[in-house]
Amino acid sequence: MTTTLSPTSPDASVRAVVDLDVAGPTISRHLYGHFAEHLGRCIYDGFWVGEDSDIPNEGGIRLDVVEALRALRIPVLRWPGGCFADEYHWSDGIGPRDQRPRMVNTHWGNVEENNHFGTHEFMALCDLLGTEPYVSANIGSGSVQEMSEWVEYLTRAGDSPMARLRRENGRDEPWRVPFWGVGNEPWGCGGNLRAEQFAPLARQYATYARNHGDNALYKIAAGASDDDYHWTETLMKEISTLGAKDPHLVFQAVSFHAYTFSGTWGAKGRATEFSEDEYYETMRRTLRVGDYIAGHAAVMDAYDPEKKVGLVLDEWGTWWDVEPGTNPGFLFQQNAMRDAIVASLHFDMFHAHADRLVMANIAQTVNVLQAMLLTDGEALVLTPTYHVFEMNAGHQDATSHAAHLTSAVPTREVDGQAVPLVSLSASSKDGAVLVSLTNLDADAAHTVELDLRGRAVHEAQGRVLVADALTAHNTPDLPDAVAPVALEGVTLTGGVLRVELPAASFATVSLQAADA
């Protein structure tokens, strides 16, 4: 692996024009979604501590976790997996907790699961977070009837068998469950199926995932890994065949998964111990996700030019080797400044493809992979990635505005590929303008000049996330080693926004439109 800096001068400004009066696609708030699997300490010791815990909780749900996540305005939470979903039988997770059967979590650590966190607990968590639930159904080891009855249990009023069972378990009114996942990674842990096997199976299962009352399911067919465009095309053929006969599509979306690491699947690299070359290789691989999104979108456009079917990236983020001394099946990793930059780049790519990409769910919310939060007993740590989500929250449901480059962007050659060292995106909503900027350069500051046209703006205020090292991370002893601070190098003159970005940093600048 080799990296070479381009000849572009590191202190030459990157210049772009942003037309604030030209509306791009709306950036769905669901692009800032999350994922919580029964894996390691994400659910147990993360979200769930039990009602008898000394840690403040409501019905067993940890309240400091809820408070921290509410600040992110989490729009959607995917559960119970992941690979766990395809061995999870939902009826084991209802009724009195002390009577629920145990199971073995064969995918993640081979530990025993007591099913204390089940359907009612998940829906209570969503209520506390103010978020919409995204439930992943068991296709791998479940049945059509099992999935159909879960939908009925969750969403049907009246006196049907499952609605009556729900009342017996303490919930009178049905819940609203908008998002329904049909399978998970069926090409791997969800059944080791070929696309041609899964597509008709998913169509069969989806047929029996009924809409009850006014709860309209948004059904998401489990999709590809990375750039497996054949899988997406196979699903789109199934959708388009049904769509020609029935205007109500069997699926409303298809998904795919893409993880980022610097090494191999067997040796992914360490979260807080890595070289500069490994850092740049991580950036190169991160930017491939934009190519994947474009590739899947192109396949979908051929079958669905009106973009009625959404694309969902419901697992993304960094995946490093587990921290030494921890259970290898728990996927616990630290979260460094490098991870924050990975997250900020993803969001710029999401914003650029907001016409087709309708949801994304980072893996995972607490204590697993690229988490927002790390818990250690009573201690709670906000990760660098958490701060990227918080700083970018203003993009949710905002109108995107394309940035048209008028100068070259400095690049670094990484294994024969030119990696741009500056990334940015912009949006507006309710008279507020938000610009996000990332400097990937590990060694040099860069200046960005944005000519903001079409609307007069004022009151530019910047924040920056930067650290003294790419490996910097937060711990209970040093909870603010990586935390946002005011960005001083921001000026606005004659509609031109000038931002000085420190090396290896993520920044946001908020402005107000004069006509708001």
Residue 92 and residue 113: Cα distance in Å, rounded? 10
**Both ends of the chain: CA-CA distance in Å?**
50
- Residue 241 clears pLDDT 70, i.e. is over it: no
Quick check: 10 pLDDT over 60? no
Are 314 and 255 in contact by the 8 Å Cβ rule? The answer is yes
Cis peptide before 80 (omega within 30 of 0): yes
Spatial contact of 155 and 212, defined as CB atoms under 8 Å apart: yes
Q: Read off φ and ψ for residue 182, nearest 5 degrees.
A: -100, 90
For the cut 60, the answer to whether the pLDDT of residue 154 exceeds it is yes
Phi/psi of residue 129, each to 5°?
-80, -20
**Given the residues 185, 278, 281, 500, the one annotated as active site:** 185
276: annotated active-site residue = no
What pLDDT score was predicted for residue 249?
76
Q: Please give the helix or strand (H or E) that residue 278 lies within, else none.
A: helix 276-303
Q: Which residues, 6 or more positions from 385, have their beta carbon under 8 angstroms from its beta carbon?
A: 317, 335, 339, 340, 342, 343, 362, 370, 371, 372
Average pLDDT over residues 1-13: 50
Query: What pLDDT, on a 0 to 100 scale, did the predictor assign at position 248?
Result: 62
Residue keyed to tokens 């507006």: 428
For domain 29-396, give its CATH number from 3.30.70.20, 3.20.20.80, 3.40.50.300, 1.10.287.3510. 3.20.20.80
Res. 15 pLDDT band, cuts 50 70 90: very high
**Residues 321 and 267 sit within 8 Å (Cβ to Cβ):** yes
What is the pTM for the complete model shown? 0.95
In the 3-class helix/strand/coil scheme, how is 378-419 assigned residue by residue? Answer: CEEEECHHHHHHHHCHHHCCEEEECEEECCCCCEEEECCEEE
Residue 476: which of 399, 407, 379, 333 has the closest Cα? 379
Q: Are 364 and 141 in contact (CB under 8 A)?
A: no
Q: Which alpha helices (H) appear in 84-180, and where do they start and end?
A: 119-129, 144-155, 161-168
Q: For residue 368, give the 3-state DSSP assignment.
A: coil
- Say yes or no to pLDDT of 276 above 80: yes
**What would the pLDDT profile of 471-509 be if each residue is shown by its tens digit?**
999 999 999 999 999 999 999 999 999 999 999 999 999
Task: Provide mean pLDDT across the span 325-332.
Answer: 96
Helices (H), 304-379: 337-352
In SS3 terms, 437-484 reads as EEECCCCCCEEEEEEEECCCEEEEEEEEECCCCCCCECCCCCCCCCCC
Q: What is the mean pLDDT of residues 165-194?
A: 97
Average pLDDT, the chain: 95
The answer for residues whose C-beta is within 8 angstroms of residue 248's C-beta and 6 or more apart is none
Q: How far apart are CA 217 and CA 2, in angstroms?
A: 48
Alpha-carbon gap, residue 424 to 25, rounded angstroms: 16
**pLDDT tens digits for range 131-147:** 999 999 999 999 999 99
Please enumerate in sequence order all residues whose Cβ is within 8 A of that of 436, keeping only pairs 6 or more positions apart, or say none: 344, 347, 348, 391, 392, 395, 424, 425, 426, 506, 507, 508
- 315 is annotated as an active-site residue: yes
- 289 neighbors 346 (Cβ within 8 angstroms): yes
One-letter amino acid identity for 231? Answer: W
Closest CA to 108 of 132, 129, 87: 87
pLDDT at position 340 is: 98
Domain residues of the chain, as ranges?
A: 3-22+400-513, 29-396
Q: What was the pLDDT predicted at 6?
A: 44
pLDDT above 70 for 158: yes
Instruction: From the candidates 121, 315, 390, 500, give the one annotated as an active-site residue.
Output: 315
Say if strands 446-453 and 432-439 run parallel, antiparallel, or are unpaired.
Answer: unpaired
Total Cβ atoms within 10 A of residue 475: 12
Q: What topology does CATH give the domain 3-22+400-513?
A: Immunoglobulin-like (2.60.40)
In tens, the pLDDT along 419-459 reads 999 999 999 999 999 999 999 999 999 999 999 999 999 99
Contacts of 51 (CB under 8 A, 6+ apart): 57, 59, 60
Residue for token pair 């908008």:
178
Whether the bond into 364 is cis, omega within 30 of 0? yes
pLDDT of residue 4: 46
- 497 burial (CB, 10 Å; 0-12 / 13-18 / 19+) is buried
Closest CA to 360 of 24, 28, 73: 28
Q: What secondary structure letter does DSSP report for 48? A: B
Mean pLDDT, range 399-427, rounded to an integer: 96
Find, among 132, 35, 127, 72, the residue nearest to 394 by Cα.
72
